[in-house]
Amino acid sequence: MRILTVGAGYVGGITMAVMAKHNKEHDFVVVDIDHQRIKDWNSDTLPIYEPGLDDIVKACDNLTFSTDVRGEIGKADIIFISVDTPTKMSGLGAGQACDTSKVEAVARQINKFASGHTIVVEKTTVPVGTCEILNEILEDTDNKSFSLLSNPEFLSEGVAIADLEVPDRVLIGGARPEALTRRPRWPRSTSVGCPSIAS
């Protein structure tokens, strides 16, 4: 499988690095619109300091960092949305509510450039109900279809690697059992069996 995260920040970069370390048979790609950030991930001085991160990134030849957001969306089997959700600065909820416009913008890009069946995962911290907005954006057609999962991240800066290696909780939710049971690709017209979901 080709697994993509959109957003090469604290969450996107580190979670993909740890997943790549433990899943050598899969390819992991991290994309970002911030060219400098991607350049830093590809350099000897990573944009983030986290104990143990340098060694993991150097050792993983199944992990790449790129600015080709559109191209990578088109090739991915699973896409994690890991962009930032700043506090709203204007309008309803200004100064308090979370601004999900970047998450929605990424979902629109996924809807446009994805191919075949794509599992889309909300990794970013978003308000309850955001999946309903994303499900409206991600439209199934004859050529493409989507399964939306929610898998919020609970890592803490400074101990992020340990939090990912031995998490004290993992939440995964979604409406389609096929996606929850890790089936990568299937034609839209095929009926997929639904084995019991592992914990």
Instruction: Report the residue from 5, 7, 30, 50 that binds ligand NAD according to the rule CB under 6 A.
Output: 7
- Could you tell me the two tokens for 61? 């030849």
Residues of this chain, 120-139, that bind ligand NAD according to CB under 6 A: 124-125
| Smallest distance from ligand NAD to CB 193, Å | 34
Dihedral pair phi/psi, residue 103, rounded to 5° = -65, -45
Q: Which of 9, 144, 147, 149 binds ligand NAD (CB under 6 A)?
A: 9
Decide: is 33 part of the binding site for ligand NAD (CB under 6 A).
Answer: yes
The distance of closest approach from Cβ of residue 69 to ligand NAD in the complex, given in angstroms and rounded to an integer, is 5
Q: Would you count residue 155 as binding ligand NAD (CB under 6 A)?
A: yes
Question: Both tokens of residue 165?
Answer: 């290696």
How many C-beta atoms lie closer than 10 Å to residue 190's C-beta?
8
Nearest distance in Å: CB 33, ligand NAD = 4
Residues 54-113 that bind ligand NAD (CB under 6 A): 69, 82-85, 102, 105-106
The residues, ordered by sequence, that sit 6+ positions from 72 with a Cβ below 8 Å of its Cβ are 4, 29, 31, 66
